[in-house]
Amino acid sequence: MIACLAAANPVLAASKISLQVGRAEFEGLRIEDLGFTWTPSEGSAGKAGVRAARIRGIAATGPLSAVSIDCAELLVSGDLLSCKAGRISGALGSLGGQNTGFSARRQADGSLRLHLDSVALAGARASVDLLLHGSNWALDSSLSEIDIAAMATIAVPWFRLPEEFTAAGRASGRLKAGGRNDDVTTANVDLEIAGLDFADAAGSLAGEAVAGKLNVKLVVDAAGDFATDGSLALTGGQAYSDPVFLDFGAHRMSVDFAGTLSSDATRFGAREFSLVHDGVAVVSGSATLDLAGESMLRQAKLTISDLDLASALPAYVQPYLIRTSLKDIEGLGHVHGEVDVADGLPGRAQLTFNQVTLDSQTGSLSVSGLGGTLNWFDDASRSELAGEVDDNSVRSSLSWESANLWGIEFGAVELPFTTTGRHFRLLEPVLLPIFDGGIAIETLQIRHAGTDQMYLRFDAELRPISVALLNRTLGWPAFSGTISGRIPGLQLSQGVVTLDGNIEAAVFDGRIVVRDLSLSDPLGRFPRLHASIDVENLDLELVTSTFSFGMITGRLSGRVENLEIFNWMPVSFDARFQTPAGDRSKHRISQRAVKNLSSIGGGSGGGVAAALQGGFLKFFDSFRYERLGLSCLLANDVCTMNGVENTAAGYYIVKGAGLPRINVIGSQSRVAWTRLVRQLSAMLESEIVVE
Amino acid sequence: MIRWITTGIVVGCLALAACVTINVYFPAAAAEKAADRIIEDIWGPGKAAEPAPNEQSSLGIRGGELMLTALRGTLDFVVPAAQAQADIDVSSPAIRTLTSSMKARAADLEQFFASGAIGLTSDGLVDLRDVNSVPLADRNRARKLVADENADRSALYAEIANANGHPEWESDIRGTFAQRWIANARAGWYYKKGSGDWARK
């Protein structure tokens, strides 16, 4: 309805009618310099034109200017009105400059059918078919290479991206929508997206060159929300949602979904969905997504049909472990199971492992042939279930064929346990095989895993393990003996492993006791070990034959105090070994051992050999000694050495007895540790004194 | 009653006077010099000098040695007797390991320092500053570099304190390093001011 006409100025001519309206208001629109022209031709047809300098009052686009609508063939007959070969041009606010052919047809039922050939929209062209029938409308539009950034600007009245969120890219496809007045009641979106870049201000959500296809059908339900059905396929580009990085070029992702989108588009409840991340994961289930919130996944029941660890670990697991010792964990094998998410956090997981291999270089930890089922509950879910389920349904059991920690191989084992929240408890004692023996674990309990309060309790007994096998693995010289005893109260707290008691090893017919053991950063890049070691009454004959050092008989005791090992290299210790006081065993030292003891440290070894080989000494295979001993205080890479007794020349390493008497005397008191290590048992500059 | 208390105080004072208190002060200037050597070893020589890069391993050891020698030198002055046995060849395998680990990471980090993605913090560590400047595929690599570097740096400060027999110096050493990292940073790199704001060098 024309509500008001001001300054109407009709001009009539023979073949052309034109009407100039200075200013008009029409259904909320304020129109300036409105004009009509009508050039009749034969019958009821004619040529019509409408001009307006400015139209205000359209909130969605802002003011329109220089609008002109021309109709080359306007036909009016009864209720029918049709316009062929029309043209609309002008600057249509945020839609920009337009110049498109159109046709319109008013039908007998009062509906108006409008076709626009080429609407300029966000840097591209779109063809639009619009059907208006009373307050109902239907739109069908084909879009080609729409600029997403420009579209986002146009869409501001209906949809606004979060602050400082940027998006750019192109979209083509078809959009069908229908509605009543200002409301959309159905929509059918079929879009192909290419080169989509997006980023939020913090850098926690971003995409680069994302390509894909979105196909979604929305229908308004009784509650005013959208019943939604569709699929999304991502076929190229990369996306990052802190801390997960996905490369769709390497692994495509497709999701089919059906559910309800809230009227304000902030919440999507997927009644059912199925997701295929090519070569990574196949997941289906139901989920509620909070599209505006911090953590998107609020609620879910997920069925994981398959998780291929080779690609799933780097994509979905490693990023969460970056601040832990297992940051470089790799794996092979498959996992399937179920995961429930409640309030944005996992509440329950049941995962079945199938021939899984895990390997962490920095953690010095690997497991292969891992199988079995893990049943995990968060603390709240477990309390809820208490009394409702039998123990078996909360029980987990994992087994492996072999595992490796710091190079030490553990054999096959099956671990029955329960785990809730950050806690873990072994249900039954198990034997963890190590070489020919093992660790019989009685208690293994972990609380607050992965937090600063992490606490571990471990009680176990060592079933005798051959030292020879252990040494071979660790690259130490081979010698025989066994390690056995209790591992008393091993605890891990604040990242430090400590023992309540000692570890004992029976070797060389004597005993080695490791006291005050603590290991910090055990799975970190640079583990640090502190301990003190008592060495009691070793049979030197067994020791020297093991190290092919040259035979020495007798006994040896000593201790290593305040041993500190950093990254498996000794940093400092105070070590002292000597013939035990009151030792009554036979004390003899062979020519070769004397030569070795005196030649170590380079230098005078040749002279000693000559002295031993020359003269009458060569007739003696071995010599008697009273006692022997050596000490080393290692600090700052320097070993400060001493022997059993001082002399004017230095200190006795071997103090001889009887005749011929041989003393090995060390003269060097400070030796660089690196050189000492390099020369294996090169301990000192020494000289031989024959009395 | 009052007399007894007074007597108590007098006796207490006498007892205190009889005690020998040895205060060991943190040798700030020496620590600064030593930190510079270690930083130069890790980052390479500053842009002003640009001499041919020295052989890496020898520099690595020397940085640590000088640090320790310097610390000890000052300590000798304060408590001569306590450190009498300290002399030659001071270095620690842990300091060497950590320094070379950081040196191996330096080139990777430098790229992120230069782009402004990473900056130096006021507590001697590094932190992500502008994640958006990092390509998506590199974001987790950057996060991992930061986590690894910070673990090494914290271990280094503790290790230097330990190697000098003064674990309680750790925070002083950290503070010294925090200043020296920033002082040695290339122009254009970002650092965090005490206020918590980022500034560009």
Q: Which of A198, A328, A637 to mutate to test the interface with B (most CBs of B within 10 A)?
A: A637
Sign of the CA dihedral running A314, A317, A321, A327: negative
Which chain B positions have a beta carbon within 8 Å of A208's beta carbon?
A: 135-136
| A635 half-sphere exposure, CB direction, 13 A CA radius | 16
Question: What total of structural domains would you count in chain A?
Answer: 3
Residue A97 and residue A154 in one domain: no
Phi/psi at B123 (5° precision) = -110, 30
CA distance B129 to chain A (A): 10
Give the one of B136, B144, B163 whose C-beta lies nearest to A322's C-beta.
Answer: B144
Which residues partner with B128 through β-bridges? B118
Residue A249 at interface with chain B, using a CB cutoff of 8 Å: no
Task: Please give the pLDDT value at position B4.
Answer: 46
Last residue of a domain, one of A227, A246, A278: A278
Task: Please give the pLDDT value at position B24.
Answer: 59
Answer yes or no: is A7 within a domain. yes
Residue A291 at interface with chain B, using a CB cutoff of 8 Å: no
Task: Find, among A261, A156, A169, A164, the residue nearest to A218 by Cα.
Answer: A261
Which chain A positions have a beta carbon within 8 Å of B140's beta carbon?
A: 243, 245, 318-319, 322
Give the one of B98, B140, B148 whose C-beta lies nearest to A319's C-beta.
Answer: B140
Token pair listed for A540: 């030197």
Report the alpha-carbon distance of residue B67 to residue B95 in Å, rounded.
10
Q: Which domain holds residue A222?
A: 150-278
Which chain A positions have a beta carbon within 8 Å of B151's beta carbon?
A: 524-525
Task: Please give the pLDDT value at position B47.
Answer: 47
Residue A55 and residue A170 in one domain: no
**DSSP annotation of B69:** H
- pLDDT tens per residue, chain B (201 residues)? 444 443 343 333 333 333 344 455 777 888 888 888 899 999 988 644 333 333 332 222 233 333 333 333 222 222 222 222 222 234 678 888 899 999 999 999 999 999 999 999 999 999 999 988 899 989 989 999 999 999 999 999 988 888 887 888 889 999 999 999 999 999 999 999 888 899 998
User: Which residue of B lies nearest to A204 if distances are taken between CA atoms?
Assistant: B131
Q: Is-contact A481 A508, C-beta < 8 A?
A: yes
Answer yes or no: is A159 within a domain. yes
Coil, helix or strand at residue A112: strand
Residue A659 and residue A600 in one domain: yes
The whole-number mean pLDDT for each consecutive block of 10 residues of chain A, a chain of 691 residues, reads 42 69 81 87 79 82 86 79 84 84 84 88 87 90 90 78 86 92 88 93 89 95 92 95 91 96 88 96 95 82 96 91 84 96 90 94 88 91 71 86 89 94 93 92 89 84 84 71 79 85 85 91 84 94 77 94 89 94 91 73 50 68 89 87 85 84 81 70 37 40
Report the alpha-carbon distance of residue A2 to residue A61 in Å, rounded.
22
Residue A684 and residue A549 in one domain: yes
Q: Is A391 exposed, middle or buried (0-12, 13-18, 19+ CB in 10 A)?
A: exposed
Q: Is-contact B109 B181, C-beta < 8 A?
A: no
User: Which residue of B lies nearest to A201 if distances are taken between CA atoms?
Assistant: B132
Which chain A positions have a beta carbon within 8 Å of B93's beta carbon?
A: 566-567, 569-571, 637
Give the one of A239, A322, A637 whose C-beta lies nearest to B92's C-beta.
Answer: A637
Answer whether A638 sits within 8 Å of B132, measured CB to CB.
no
Task: Please give the pLDDT value at position A608.
Answer: 60
Task: Find, among B100, B141, B97, B149, the residue nearest to B121 by Cα.
Answer: B149
Answer yes or no: is A86 within a domain. yes
Task: Find, among A123, A56, A134, A126, the residue nearest to A92 by Cα.
Answer: A56
Q: Is-contact A685 A601, C-beta < 8 A?
A: yes
Residue A43 at interface with chain B, using a CB cutoff of 8 Å: no
CA distance A286 to chain B (A): 29
Residue A35 and residue A170 in one domain: no
Give the one of B93, B136, B144 whose C-beta lies nearest to A566's C-beta.
Answer: B93
Phi/psi at A328 (5° precision) = -105, 25
Task: Please give the pLDDT value at position B87.
Answer: 26
Answer whether A670 sits within 8 Å of B88, measured CB to CB.
yes
Residue that is written with structure tokens 């509440």 in the block = A347
Which chain A positions have a beta carbon within 8 Å of B90's beta carbon?
A: 636-638
Residue A95 and residue A198 in one domain: no
Residue A546 and residue A638 in one domain: yes
Residue A245 at interface with chain B, using a CB cutoff of 8 Å: yes
Answer yes or no: is A207 within a domain. yes
Q: Is-contact A279 A307, C-beta < 8 A?
A: no
ipTM above 0.85 for this complex: no
Report the alpha-carbon distance of residue A198 to residue A212 in Å, rounded.
14
Residue A185 and residue A82 in one domain: no
Task: Please give the pLDDT value at position B55.
Answer: 32
Task: Find, among A418, A423, A419, A425, the residue nearest to A448 by Cα.
Answer: A423
Answer yes or no: is A227 within a domain. yes
Answer whether B140 sits within 8 Å of A322, measured CB to CB.
yes
Q: Is-contact A503 A518, C-beta < 8 A?
A: no
Task: Find, among A296, A244, A242, the residue nearest to A269 by Cα.
Answer: A296
Last residue of a domain, one of A218, A247, A278: A278
Query: How many H-runs (helices) and E-runs (strands) does chain A carry?
Result: 8, 45
Residue A71 and residue A200 in one domain: no
**pTM of the shown model:** 0.74
Measuring CA to CA, how many Å separate A32 from each of A12, A64, A325? 21, 10, 72
Residue A204 at interface with chain B, using a CB cutoff of 8 Å: yes
Give the one of B93, B98, B136 whose C-beta lies nearest to A208's C-beta.
Answer: B136
Which chain A positions have a beta carbon within 8 Å of B135's beta carbon?
A: 208
Last residue of a domain, one of A263, A278, A293: A278
Answer yes or no: is A54 within a domain. yes
Residue A479 at interface with chain B, using a CB cutoff of 8 Å: no
Answer yes or no: is A588 within a domain. yes
Q: Kindly give, in sequence order, each residue whose CB lies less than 8 Å from that of residue A386, ignoring residues fewer than 6 positions away.
A: none
Answer yes or no: is A573 within a domain. yes
Q: Is-contact A139 A123, C-beta < 8 A?
A: no
For A106-158, the pLDDT digits (tens) are 887 888 888 998 888 888 888 999 998 888 999 999 988 889 888 888 877 77
